[in-house]
Chain A
Amino acid sequence: MQPTPDLPVVLALLALPFVAAALTPLVHRALGERTAYFAAAVALACFGLAASQYGTEGVVSVAWIPALDVSLSLYVDGLSLLVAFLASGVGVLVFTYSAGYMHGEPGLAKYYATLLAFMGSMLGVALAADLVALFVFWELTSIASFVLIGHYSSQDSALYAARKSMFVTVGGGLFMLVGFVLLANATGTFSIATMLDRPELVREALRSQGVLLPVVVLVGVGAAAKSAQVPLHIWLPDAMEAPTPVSAFLHSATMVKAGVYLVGRLRPVLVTDEWTLLFAALGLTTMTVAAVLAIAATDIKQLLAYSTASHLGLIVAGFGFASVLGAETGAFHILNHAMFKAPLFLVAGIVAHEAGTRTISELGGLRRDLPITAAVTVVAALGMAGVPPFNGFYSKEFLFETTYEFAAHAGGLAWVVPAVAVLGSVFTFLYSVRFLMLFFGEKPSGLGHVHRPPLTMLAPPVLLAAVAGTIGLNGLLASFHAGFAPITEFVARVVNSTTAAGHGGHEFSYYVPTYVSPALVMSAATIALGLAAYPAYGRIHDALHALFRTVPPIQADWWYDAAVGGLDGVSRGTARVVQTGQLRTYAAWTLTATAGLALAGYAAVGASLPPLSYSLSIPLLLVLVTAVVAAAAVTVAPSHTTGVLTLSILGFMLAIFYILASAPDLALTQLVVETLVLVIFLLVLDRLPSYYGETRRSRKVRDAGLSVLVGATVTVTVLLATAGGDPSASLNPVSGIDTSHLVELAVEEGGGTNVVNVILVDLRAFDTLGEIGVVAIAALSVVTLIAMRERGGEAE
């Protein structure tokens, strides 16, 4: 049995970044640019806290709202610790790097506060033990990313990129939320830990309710949006508008890992044939397509962005396969990818910072000016290419082995799978070598002297590359049975938490193969094909560009822009029709919508009209006829004054109707309100513009139709509301309120015989309080609107 995590430590781990983020503005005032070291210290503390929990596993929870059985629970195991290590460990280095990179930039307080909050959210995603908490932290990372991508908020491209990433990732998150709700609905719990305990029961429940495929697809959409899987990868290259440390942190090492984390987290619960079909296909497609796009990239950060999407595809594909090998592929590549991609981004930052350009064709031969950076790049880029004995090689070997076994097992068409894996890897090899060649070959004449980066910018990538190198070296040593255990032990823990076998002690090992295996042959083929194709790199690059130019719709970006542009057009059109600035248009739309919704509501609940059986006395009939005549007269009134006066005839007739219908309170109210309205009308009448005689026939027809519709709605509503006139039926059919006791209550409890008034001020006084609140707010708005208008007028 594993030791359980320590609750105070885990809580502190989660809370620390958020507290630090809240304090950042104050710290920035005191420390200025050295806030970076404060943030790095916080990240280091988080790393220490996470490290202290290494080896533990299980749920810890603290009661939050005990009465509602709501608690804050956190889950710790290998996978969540891996992500926590990445978030805090890479965090330390990125904050340190920022001290050099962001030197002299404005908006640093916001930058560090957001990065810290992001780190906390990422730790939250990793540690959340239930789906709702996971979702909340998940969306928090999207929001932090939005702020950081839009860091240079004066640039339109940054704003476009920020909007795009927000749109895609938050939109995907909503799909995921629906998936979560379906999942929780089928299993009766939101707790991930409970699901992980009984995965077969969860699958059974989902299957029996027929929601397994929807859940897998919906969760898949969320993960794909976050982890930039095709075709939702489009936001990641644009996200490179963010400062480079952010790209290294969010868009390679951590946030984009949230998607693959989710896939790995739910893998033991949901892994089925549908799962394999969806995620293996998605991952392999992304791996290949994004690698091809990376070759087409002209900017080093863009190349790395597509490469990130490609490698995330590899991880997703690994997790997609049901075998333990698949889990090993995914788990190990999460670690490897972070260890080679983060330093590469930091290198790209150094190059851009010191050479002043990020265009690939303008760079070359940098190794003489930046020797240490070149060494880092060699380790990291060869790891990315999957060349033995660098770290990326091993996880790619696992993928090859997985796909080979899958194909050997399934046979037939399944052989496409290993072929695609090799194809994707060839492209990966090509762009990795291209990135490496920035440091070799001839230096272009346009490039001046390149300065050495400051130590704070150099140390983090060196450290990361050292870890990557160690992982690679360990594999080489393992071939001679001399590897060190901690790395394999750690990865074994991660693998265990992503396998359906669950918490059993699965052995994990990796080494440079000393015999010929299918996977080794595939690796050799990849490298051979890559080396053969490399001389044609320029031509492939140009051909891809020509293709994109001639057939724009093959790019997902084109679809995004077309969709967003189309939506823009629709909303502009809607605004033109609905918001004309004329009161009558607003009234027309509001009334149509209200009447339509009300009638649709009645139709939806299947309300039927009660039989009409009314007998009217002569005086009542006379009053009503007068009212109808007055109403008709309003429509033909030649001027505003006549219109208002005839309208008030209608109002006063209604008051008389109330008197005849034995409702003196209503009649009184109607009388005084009618009088007041008449007075107000007469006050403002002079100012009203005259529309009489100008209306078009079409508008008259529309208004007539509308008034008939509104009249019909009101009539139907009244008929339905009074349908319960039967004294034995005390429930009001519309409001659902039991009205039978109100009369007795009024006299006994309220002590008043005017039932209407007692209801208003005693029995339902809370309602009345709300109503007079509304009246007061209306008065306040009038004052505010008019005061603001005059203030605006003065300002102009």
Chain B
Amino acid sequence: MSTIILRTVTRLAVPIVFVTSFALFLQGHNLPGGGFIAGVLTATGLALVYIAYGLDFLEETVFQRSIGGSVEHIQHGLVSDYRRLFAVGLAIATGSGLVFVALGMPFMSYGYTYASFPLYDHMELASAVVFDFGVYCVVVGSLLTILSVVGEE
């Protein structure tokens, strides 16, 4: 199903998808969006790449790595990166809660503050963003793991 049209559209669309998902992630606290939605969107963008170019394309052309056999693709390469990604995501999410325990507050407390930056005046810094980033990593990592493993089948 990989046609020239699909490939061309993919080349144009995927960067936009990534930017959109990043924007959705950042604005999640005050506007529709958030880690989960952004994660699914990122995964969708990459899935589009898979359909248009195949699983090996990312590995070989983008990351310039050699590909292993059928079992190895679970152990090495991109899939293991995805697995690492959702492990890291879980760690970030849990860690963001544990930081509060270290500070003597209950697990999963939350707080926010406003700070001024040179270019971006009066920016809100919420602790939840860290947790949300963990959610984002888990979603992206998990979905892409499933997608690439099943897709390879």
A: residues with CB less than 8 A from B are 664-665, 667-669, 672-673, 675-676, 679-680, 682-684, 687, 749-754, 756-758, 760-763, 765-766, 768-769, 772-773, 775-776, 778-780, 782-783, 786-787, 790-791
Contact = CB atoms under 8 A, between A and B. Distances in A.
Contacts of A682: 1, 51
A779 B32 contact: no
Contacts of B61: none
A752 B128 CA distance: 10
A672 B41 contact: yes
B71 A772 contact: no
Contacts of B146: 778-779, 782
Contact of B135 (A684, A772, A786): A772
A744 to B, nearest CB: 15
B50 interface: yes
B72 to A, nearest CB: 10
B37 A665 contact: yes
Contact of B40 (A673, A751, A782): A673
Contacts of B82: 779
22 contacts: A665-B34, A668-B32, A669-B37, A672-B37, A672-B40, A672-B41, A672-B44, A679-B47, A683-B50, A752-B30, A754-B30, A757-B33, A758-B128, A761-B135, A762-B110, A763-B110, A765-B110, A779-B82, A779-B143, A780-B83, A782-B146, A790-B70
A787 B76 CA distance: 12
B90 interface: yes
Kindly list the 5 A-B residue pairs having the minimum CB-CB distance in the complex, ordered from nearest: A751-B112, A779-B142, A752-B29, A664-B32, A772-B138
A92 B32 CA distance: 75
A778 B128 contact: no
Given A752-B128, A776-B142, A680 B93 contact: no
Contacts of A779: 82-83, 86, 141-143, 145-146
A775 B93 contact: no
B38 to A, nearest CB: 9
Interface string B2-44: 0000000000000000000000100011111111110011011
Contact of A761 (B51, B71, B131, B141): B131
A765 B44 CA distance: 25
Given A761-B35, A782-B149, A772 B139 contact: yes
A768 B37 CA distance: 13
Contact of B126 (A752, A763, A772): A752
B36 A769 contact: no
B86 A683 contact: no
Given A673-B40, A776-B89, 6 more contacts: A675-B44, A676-B43, A761-B132, A772-B135, A776-B141, A782-B150
B33 A768 contact: no
B128 A676 contact: no
A663 to B, nearest CB: 9
A interface, over-half SS: helix
Contact of A775 (B51, B74, B83, B139): B139
Contacts of A672: 37, 40-41, 44
Interface of B: 1, 24, 28-37, 40-41, 43-44, 47-48, 50-51, 70-71, 74-75, 79, 82-83, 86-87, 89-90, 93-94, 97, 107-108, 110, 112, 124, 126, 128-129, 131-132, 134-135, 138-139, 141-143, 145-147, 149-151, 153
B142 A775 contact: yes
Given A683-B50, A765-B97, A669 B128 contact: no
A750 B127 CA distance: 9
Given A761-B132, A769-B108, A751 B138 contact: no
A772 B89 contact: yes
B90 A772 contact: yes
A766 B153 CA distance: 35
B126 A750 contact: yes
B135 A768 contact: yes
Given A665-B32, A672-B44, A761-B34, A782 B51 contact: no
Contact of A762 (B128, B135, B151): B128
Contacts of B94: 769
B110 A783 contact: no
B83 A676 contact: no
Contacts of B135: 761, 768, 772
Given A683-B150, A779-B145, A676 B32 contact: no
B83 A783 contact: yes
Contacts of A790: 70-71
A765 B74 contact: no
Contacts of B93: 768-769, 772
Contacts of A783: 74, 79, 83, 145, 149
Nearest to B75: A787
B84 to A, nearest CB: 12
Nearest to B96: A765
A772 B134 CA distance: 9
A749 B127 CA distance: 11
A604 to B, nearest CB: 35
A757 B34 contact: yes
B131 to A, nearest CB: 5
Nearest to A787: B74
Most chain B CB neighbours (cut-off 10 Å) among A679, A687, A750, A765: A765
B29 A754 contact: yes
B149 A778 contact: no
Given A683-B50, A787-B71, A776 B108 contact: no
B74 A773 contact: no
Contacts of B48: 679
B90 to A, nearest CB: 6
Given A749-B110, A752-B29, A761-B35, A684 B150 contact: yes
Given A668-B24, A761-B128, A776 B138 contact: yes
Contacts of A751: 29, 112, 124, 126
B147 A754 contact: no
B132 to A, nearest CB: 5
Contact of A765 (B33, B43, B128, B147): B128
Contacts of A680: 47, 147, 150
A157 to B, nearest CB: 44
B20 to A, nearest CB: 10
Contacts of A775: 86, 138-139, 142
A766 B94 CA distance: 9
B153 A786 contact: yes
A778 B142 CA distance: 8
Contacts of A664: 32
Nearest to B139: A775
A583 to B, nearest CB: 15
Contacts of A687: 153
A781 B41 CA distance: 22
Contacts of A668: 24, 32-33, 37
B28 A754 contact: yes
Contacts of B44: 672, 675-676, 679
A746 to B, nearest CB: 10
A776 B37 contact: no
B45 to A, nearest CB: 10
